[in-house]
Structure 1
């Protein structure tokens, strides 16, 4: 069974403060392209930690693909219990939709937040439970994904583990392609 972890930036790390931001469309497009390719290669499960931004957008992509790919499943492994407790109500409602649509949900720690170690434990478990990492991350713009990215690179030194990275250059190529497809040549 092929399982992939998906992660990337949080919205504020990208300067995205509304769901209608065009960047969200292009990120979802990049995720869809990558996920379709992984499905063609036999992937069955995607794991996220439920973090807002790329991970929840990936969940939305999974939900949109499931009618055509019923074998595709989503697991949400949160780093600790009730990670959404301090979020705004509308954000919590969005998160609850993601959780309710997931095929498997669990918390790595059965306590609320106590320390950054819970994030490291979550990252380690996600690597152990997956055969690859799909990450939207550009090393020229550091952000929270760097921790899992660095851990995955070390993990790959010890066993077979694939990393597929989508950079800002890759995202710009999708923007350019989409815009050229929408040009009216008349």
Structure 2
């Protein structure tokens, strides 16, 4: 069993506020390529959270890929109970639907948000229960995922833990490739 922790930018950090944003087509295409490559390298579990943006898009992509890869499983892990309860109702409904689509889901803390220690415990859990990480993240363009990125770099100091970053340059290259493929 090989488990991939997948996270990245929040939707608002990428200027994406609607599900029909054209940028989202390219991002999901990039996620699909990256997750497919990870599957072909032996990954059979994708672990992610429920954050708006990369994590939710990854859940949608994994659910699509499960049609072609029977062995693929999805774990949605939340840091605490009632995660996302402060979001607008439509976003809460979408989160509930995505969680329901997972093969496994749980929370690290079975209580509501108490403090940042819960988020650190979440990071520790994800690192301890995964074999590698994939981040939609460019260190030249910091965002909230930088906390995860820095934690992974520290984790790598003590053990082998492969990390793949999909950077803004990578996204631009994939967007160009996607556009060229659409013309064929």
Query: What's the TM-score once normalised by structure 1's chain length?
Result: 0.96
| Stretches of structure 1 lacking an aligned partner (at least 5 in a row) | none
How far is the alpha carbon of 1:85 from its aligned partner?
1.1
The structural deviation recorded for 1:182 is 2.7
Secondary structure in 1 aligned to 2:77? strand
Q: Which residue of 1 aligns with 2:110?
A: 110
Where does structure 2 lack aligned partners over 5 or more consecutive residues? none
Aligned equivalent of 2:70? 70
Distance 1:151 1:44 in 2: 23
Q: Distance in 2 between matches of 1:85 and 1:52?
A: 12
Partner of 2:90: 90
Per the alignment, residue 149 of structure 1 pairs with 149
Number of aligned residues: 184
The Cα offsets for residues 32-65 of structure 1, whole Å up to 9 and x where unpaired, read as: 1111111111111011111110001000000001
* 1:135 positional shift: 0.2
Secondary structure of the equivalent of 1:71?
A: coil
Distance 2:182 2:109 in 1: 47
Deviation string, structure 1 residues 48-89 (Cα, Å, up to 9, x no partner): 111110001000000001011111111111010011211111
State the shift of 1:117 in Å. Answer: 1.3
- Greater than 3 Å deviation, 4+ residue runs: none
- Tell me, in whole angstroms, the C-alpha distance in 1 between the residues paired with 2:49 and 2:95: 11
Query: In structure 2, what is the Cα distance between the partners aligned to 1:170 and 1:55?
Result: 18
Pairwise CA distance, 1:8: 0.3
TM-score (norm 2): 0.97
Please name the residue that 1:133 is paired with: 133
Q: Which residue of 1 aligns with 2:18?
A: 18
* Cα deviation, residue 177, structure 1: 0.8
User: 2: distance between equivalents of 1:69 and 1:60?
Assistant: 14
Distance 1:111 1:46 in 2: 24
1:181 deviates by 2.2
Distance between the aligned counterparts of 2:11 and 2:112, measured in 1? 23
